[in-house]
Structure 1
Amino acid sequence: MTRKAYSFIRTFVPEPARELCVDRHYLLCASTGALRLEAQGQAWLLPPARAALIAAGRPIRVSIPQPVTTASVLFDTGFTPAPPAPLAVFDLSPLARALLAECGTWGESDVPLTAYAETLFSALAAVTWQLSEQPSPVVVPAGRSPELRRALQLTEERLGGEVRFEDVAHEVGLAPRSLARRFEDEIGMPWRAVLRRMRVMRAIEELAAGDTPVTKVAFTVGYASLSAFNAAFRELTGRTPTEYRSSFRP
């Protein structure tokens, strides 16, 4: 009999996407580095400031773009209620991060949790279950059709340089008007809005990877000016890149 809840701390090297499905409610976090998560036709990035709450039995795809250390928690389905949604990605509050760190003492074991430990895990669940009701807006749609998924892949590959919608349409074998219609029909937003989200998402990945100056991050993800980058970043996350990076630090 394993514990009702336990912390799961591991370090991983970069690896491509793989399927993941567990029989417990899963609070998936990175303490260093970043994870990429895809499910329900959408994709997220999980730097240390964010977490994913995944209901038991919910399949997801996880990839590791850079070395990462996870600090996650698995909850027995009899210990906590089902999460408010099958999958939610959200920003961690200082209280949630403190509780997560404190729960790190209790890994997988047949030894029952102490009353103190049960209280901590229960508090962590209560806090993160509530946070999951306000999911993060930094999400990129994954697309359904092969043409749109290819268009998204090409767009992401070219974030650091000049990326033109007409070129992407040509390479996937569709007229620009037809591809634009695919974006609206399949994911409900135009290509340029997706491009902006991808750039912010890549910027978060760069900010989480180390101490690269914000100006260099802006140029790396395709912005010609720092002011335009800051405006786009704040519009989507509600914070400046510098403020967002500071949230990664304990």
Structure 2
Amino acid sequence: MPHPSLSTAATARELRRLGLVQAQAPAFSFADGTGKEPRTLAYGWHRHANHQLLYAFHGTVRLETAEEVWLLPPHRAAWIPAGARHRTILAGVSLGNVYFDPKRYPSLGGERSRIRVFAAPPLLREMIGYSLRWTNKPRRAEERRYAADFFATLAQLCRTLCAEPRLPYSLPRIGPDRLRAAAEQALSTPGAAALADVARAAALSERTFRRRFHEAAGMTWREYALRARLLLAMEKLAGGKENVTETALAVGFNSLSAFGKAFAGFTGETPNAFRLRSLSSPADPASPASSGTRDRGRRSRAHAAPRRSRGGK
């Protein structure tokens, strides 16, 4: 089923409606979708004035820039520097976002201010969930001090994670029109993206297509198509609607053992282990029905500065 899509102008209006345009705090969080009402939506191209930390508690996110297409399965996070033009496609997602003022957190842009995707350790996941109490609203003095310390710690953790080796969960965007159509076919229906078919569609011989595609993508068509198949497999397995066998067939593998070997080589775990881990993610901290929400409220009051007693009481 196609994702509901927003144009660039509609995306700008939606971000303004959600209160994400004019920051009222140096750092704040925003929950997009919950466990009971996940979000399925394609945002149009946009930029943020703040750095953005993006993490899906459930579902998958496709993150696109002019240069790359990223897939964020569960337990992966993205750092999007301020000003980076991008768009996001959400598929049944419960999303946690944290925004940082670049004037207060200037060194978090990463290498040449490029988007970074990294594995999210449990500590980061818990901190993002905890931060959701601090939305883009004015805060009392004692709350500002506590929030400032918390976000400073979270920013330092992000700085460390951004410096880790780059994950391979992306594909380069292809420039020339005829080659771009082949790349988009590999992303949408990788099982049907045979070399002979895409070369014919591009009105090129297979040899010429291979050469031009390698020049444009920096990788061979075979490498590109295989990675596209495995990224789509991750998306399907994380969604939970298809089992391992159905997923393997859907992305063009006729051999379950070949699929398992390729998937394990790409992700470091078997398809079944990945699926089970994705579906057994902890309860969504953004859900109002989560017991953790009530616990966080109690903890928030416990962390607030103690009130000055009157008359020795």
Aligned match of 1:42: 68
**Does 2:62 align with 1:31?**
no
- C-alpha deviation, 1:154, in angstroms: 2.1
Q: 1:137 aligns with which of 158, 163, 168?
A: 168
**Does 2:40 align with 1:14?**
yes
**Does 2:101 align with 1:70?**
no
Equivalents in 1 of 2:32, 2:189: separation in Å? Answer: 32
- C-alpha deviation, 1:71, in angstroms: 0.6
Equivalents in 2 of 1:9, 1:93: separation in Å? Answer: 19
**Does 2:104 align with 1:79?**
yes
Equivalents in 2 of 1:240, 1:29: separation in Å? Answer: 23
Aligned match of 2:250: 220
- C-alpha deviation, 1:7, in angstroms: 0.9
User: Residue deviations 1:171-205, cap 9 Å, x none?
Assistant: 12122112111221111111111111111111111
Radius of gyration: which is bigger? 2
Say whether the 8 Å CA contact 1:155–1:168 is kept in structure 2: no
Q: Which has the higher strand share?
A: 1
**Does 2:142 align with 1:111?**
no
Structure 1 stretches of 4+ moved >6 Å: none
User: Residue deviations 1:80-129, cap 9 Å, x none?
Assistant: 23322321111111111111111111111121543332222222221222
- C-alpha deviation, 1:246, in angstroms: 4.5
Structure 2: give runs of 5+ residues left out of the alignment.
Answer: 1-22, 283-313
Q: What root-mean-square deviation, in Å, do the aligned CA atoms of Structure 1 and Structure 2 show? A: 2.0
Percent of aligned pairs with the same amino acid: 33
User: Residue deviations 1:200-237, cap 9 Å, x none?
Assistant: 11111112212532222222211112221121112222
Aligned match of 1:159: 190
Aligned match of 2:27: 5
Could you tell me the TM-score, scaled by structure 2's length? Answer: 0.73
- C-alpha deviation, 1:70, in angstroms: 1.5
Aligned match of 1:243: 273
Q: What residue identity is the alignment partner of 2:46?
A: L
Equivalents in 2 of 1:120, 1:242: separation in Å? Answer: 36
Count of matched residue positions in the alignment of Structure 1 and Structure 2: 248
Aligned match of 1:230: 260
Equivalents in 1 of 2:75, 2:59: separation in Å? Answer: 10
Say whether the 8 Å CA contact 1:53–1:89 is kept in structure 2: yes
Aligned match of 2:124: 96
Structure 1: give runs of 5+ residues left out of the alignment.
Answer: none
Equivalents in 2 of 1:130, 1:83: separation in Å? Answer: 12
- C-alpha deviation, 1:146, in angstroms: 0.8
SS in 1 for 2:29: strand
Equivalents in 2 of 1:56, 1:177: separation in Å? Answer: 41
Q: What residue identity is the alignment partner of 1:210?
A: G
Equivalents in 2 of 1:124, 1:230: separation in Å? Answer: 36
Residues 246 and 108 of structure 1, relative CA distance in 2, 3 Å threshold: farther
- C-alpha deviation, 1:13, in angstroms: 4.5
Residues 92 and 147 of structure 1, relative CA distance in 2, 3 Å threshold: same
Equivalents in 2 of 1:29, 1:197: separation in Å? Answer: 22
